[in-house]
Amino acid sequence: MEARKIKISKQLDLNRLPKHIAIIMDGNGRWATKRGLPRNMGHKAGCENLKRIIEHIYDLGISCATFYTFSTENWKRPQEEIDGIFNVVRDYLDEDGDSFVQKDARVVVSGDYSKLPQDLVDSISRIIQKTKNCKTFTLNLAINYGGRDEILRGVNSAIENGQKLDSTADFAKLLYNADLPEPDFVIRTSGEMRLSNFMLWQMAYSELYFTKIYWPSFTEKQLQKALIDFQKRKRRFGAL
């Protein structure tokens, strides 16, 4: 993680930040195409931006962030692109391992990462192991993640264990990283206004924010703008 001091807007109330911010990092391909570059350059730029935004989320004092990195549907893409995405993620985890520990940041994964290429599985296992006792921040990478797949796994696990679920809270314990709070704020970049199978269960009451900006161009300042928007919202959870 690189050190970059960013000014914090006076409009942003640091005492009312989300506990868990989740980001659907979309638009890497279009960012690259617009510049006459191959799509994989977009994923490289997207990963550089991921580092910057994680750093800023951490600096603001938000304690948990989930990033949608690779969906269960992204296997439909050309193999070359899939390999490109996995390579940038692997390099990131390998290079930044120590800085996570220094920052007391724990890395966890949502999704069946055992199905990824072995080198990436090894990198993921290493970083999870290395950061498992870190407490200040949790970085959750959603890789080979799909909301429906996650729910199906939960249902099957309950059936296999002969478990009768008495409440939605009981079911939530069967999801990936059930110790994390549900995301209170979800951002999607690139102008698409859909969930694309992201955290379907956990997002029941999340505040949603959409921006047209492609992920590699989404800056710390835009993150602050989104957070200011979040702070203007009245969350009712069905009550008055």
Tell me if residue 74 is catalytic: yes
Contacting ligand IPE (CB under 6 A), which of 6, 8, 30, 130? 30
3-state secondary structure of 210: strand
Tell me if residue 26 is catalytic: yes
3-state secondary structure of 219: coil
Contacting ligand IPE (CB under 6 A), which of 17, 20, 27, 149? 27
Q: Strand pairing partners for 208?
A: 186
Minimum Å gap between C-beta 231 and ligand IPE is: 25
Minimum Å gap between C-beta 85 and ligand IPE is: 5
Question: Mask: binding to ligand IPE, 80-109, rule CB under 6 A, as x and -?
Answer: -----x------------------------
Contacting ligand IPE (CB under 6 A), which of 18, 29, 147, 154? 29
Q: Which does 28 bind (CB under 5 to 8 A by kind): Mg ion, ligand IPE, none?
A: ligand IPE
Q: Which does 40 bind (CB under 5 to 8 A by kind): Mg ion, ligand IPE, none?
A: none
**196 vs 217 by CB, closer to ligand IPE:** 196
d(Cα 18, Cα 138) in Å, to the nearest integer? Answer: 13
Question: Mask: binding to ligand IPE, 191-230, rule CB under 6 A, as x and -?
Answer: -x-x-x----------------------------------
Cβ contact 46:216 at 8 Å: yes
The active-site residue, picked from 28, 74, 140, 197, is 74
Cβ contact 185:206 at 8 Å: yes
Q: Which does 22 bind (CB under 5 to 8 A by kind): ligand IPE, Mg ion, none?
A: none
How many C-beta atoms surround the C-beta of residue 184 within 10 A? 19
Q: Quick check: 96 binds Mg ion (CB under 5 A)?
A: no
Residue number of the CB closest to ligand IPE reads 29
d(Cα 173, Cα 159) in Å, to the nearest integer? Answer: 14
The DSSP symbol for 113 reads G
Strands 185-188 and 105-110: unpaired
Residues numbered 11 to 70 that lie near Mg ion (CB under 5 A) are 26
Minimum Å gap between C-beta 234 and ligand IPE is: 29
82-118 b/e with 16+ CB inside 10 Å = b? bebbbbbbbebbeebbeebbebebbbbbbbbbeebee
Phi, psi of 138 (to 5 degrees): -120, 125
d(Cα 128, Cα 133) in Å, to the nearest integer? Answer: 9
What does the binding site for ligand IPE look like in residue numbers (CB under 6 A)? 24-30, 68-71, 74, 85, 190, 192, 194, 196
Catalytic machinery residues: 26, 74
